[in-house]
Amino acid sequence: MRLGLRWTRLCFLVTLLPLAEALSSFLASPRAKSWLGGSVSPTPLPGLLDDLFEHQLVVDLTLTTARVEIALHDGSSVGFTTRAYDGKVPAPTLVVTPGDHLIFNITNALGRGLTNRTSIHLHGLHVGNDGIVVEPGESLTFKFTIPSHHPSGTFWYHPHVHGLINSQLGGLLAGALVVLDRPGDPPALRDHACDHVLLIQAVCAVDCHHAHDELAHAIQAPMMDPRRQFFVDVQSNSSGLHVLVNGASVPVLDVLPHKWTRLRYINAIANSIVEIANPPPPCMTLLLARDGITKPNWTPLVEAVVLPPGSRADLLIRCPPTVAEITVDRNPARTGNLGHHHRVQSQPLMLLRVQGVELNSMEPPKWPQPSHVSLPTYMRAPTSTQLQRNCSFNYAFTANDTAMSTFGVNGEPFRHEAVDTLVQGVPQLWCVCVAHPEQHNHPFHVHGTHFYVNGEWRDTIPVLRSTERVW
């Protein structure tokens, strides 16, 4: 390992704070703060019932133009003008509990123009109401109620105006959203001092392999506005796609030795799969949750964790004192399943610095297991008798990378108003594939619900050659 050299170069970088310590910079509902063990006692607004106040998070976000300067781990840098909430990249992390009311007051303070329209989408949450556009100069309030039976887990939010998603996500407009574990759910997770939110984004100035990954191209959105009225002004001496964790290039993550620590990975990159290698042995890694859904059993993760755009994975790690690099590992062994394109190239992701008071170092590591996972009744795994032989719906997606106009479903160009009617509560089999896969995988994502595929609940999966049987 080349850690000695790398370490001296990296020591200027930011250190990531765990969820509980970073509380002051997060936006959390009063109940979420009390669940996190915070001593915060905010004052309710006059006239607002204490109970309602407890369960409410009001998030004021103003969408403005921001200048972003990022020092990359290899000594190069990238600076660009983009759209950001309150001028910050990434957007604030939101922390709520099941049953909370999440209220966004969104002011779009950008200049006029098609590419400056925006909206808010809560990725993975079982709530609706995300198709409403906030025009430039407009302010709108969005109220989401997270059902009290909603799964606890790792989610995120971003704008979702059709045709502008690559532009606004590629410009780093995204933030993490955590629905806290209920008291009494997985006991190993109650220690929020060992709980880290890691929002993964990426920037590329030149040599990006795909035009839509290039910062200037993405942010200007020439398909929507050929005149490119949004001024981006990229200055960079870097090349290739560089990953960021919470807005920083290869930050340091401090964890305690021999203590189970949760890493909440979120792939907020617009187009690319990220394959994250586990911390090297003797660190242990367990897969705790996928796409915000805690697994019924936590088992060691042998392979890297593969995150298509939008997907999340929660890991539990436990290490002796060490300094280790956690890397993006674009492994050719996965090319058969993932294809050649839209995969972040291998590079360091962050440094794991395991130091401090050694806890029970002599004790052999036991794998923690969830004692109980609260899931809504509609998320019971389908039984074999429920499995139908025939597809209720067939969806073959055309995802030709070179010509946006060929995006479509079942041979038809994409139409926003196309509707397939589903019956609520009735399981159905969807058969999903990419029509002409070649080497391009494409993420498949459903809003407002999870689906059951290959034995687990997901809301975003990569699809390449094979037809996935999706429940």
Residues that bind Cu ion (CB under 5 A): 123
Q: 460-463 and 442-445: which strand pairing?
A: antiparallel
Please, what is the minimum distance in Å from the beta carbon of residue 399 to Cu ion?
17
CB of 362 to Cu ion, least distance (A): 45
> From the CB of 130, what's the least distance to Cu ion, in Å?
8
Q: How far is the CB of 87 from Cu ion (least distance, A)?
A: 25
For residue 159, the minimal CB distance to Cu ion (Å) is 11
Ranges assigned E (strand) in 355-407: 393-398
Pick 146 or 351: Cβ nearer Cu ion: 146
The CB-of-85 to Cu ion minimum distance in angstroms stands at 17
How many of the other CB atoms lie within 10 Å of CB of 162?
12
Under 8 Å CB-to-CB from 389, ≥6 apart: which residues? none
CA distance 180 to 361: 29
CB of 106 to Cu ion, least distance (A): 17
Nearer to Cu ion, 158 or 242 (CB): 158
Q: Coil, helix or strand for 5? A: helix
Residues 120 and 153 sit within 8 Å (Cβ to Cβ): no
Which residue number is nearest to Cu ion in terms of Cβ? 123
CB of 272 within 8 A of CB of 344?
yes
Q: Which of these, 261, 272, 287, 280, lies nearest to 344 by C-alpha position?
A: 272
Torsion, Cα 420 423 425 430, to 10 degrees, reads: -40
**Least Cβ distance, residue 160 to Cu ion (angstroms):** 7
Which lies closer to Cu ion via its Cβ, residue 279 or residue 308?
308
Give yes or no for a contact between 156 and 123, defined as CB atoms under 8 angstroms apart: yes
CA distance 164 to 359: 48
The smaller minimum CB distance to Cu ion, of residues 171 and 370, is found at: 171
Q: In angstroms, how far is CA 375 from the centroid of its own chain?
A: 20
Closer CB to Cu ion, residue 35 or residue 85?
Answer: 85
Return the number of the residue (308 or 339) whose C-beta is nearest Cu ion. 308
Nearer to Cu ion, 123 or 242 (CB): 123
Min dist CB 236 to Cu ion, Å, is 30
Which residues pair with residue 113 across a beta bridge? none
Nearest to Cu ion of 123, 450 (CB atom): 123
Q: For residues 206 and 273, what is the distance between their CA atoms, to the nearest angstrom?
A: 19
> Which of 101/445 has CB closer to Cu ion?
445
Inter-residue contact 220 to 82 (CB < 8 Å): no
What length is written for the chain?
471
How far is 272 from 309, CA to CA, in rounded Å?
6
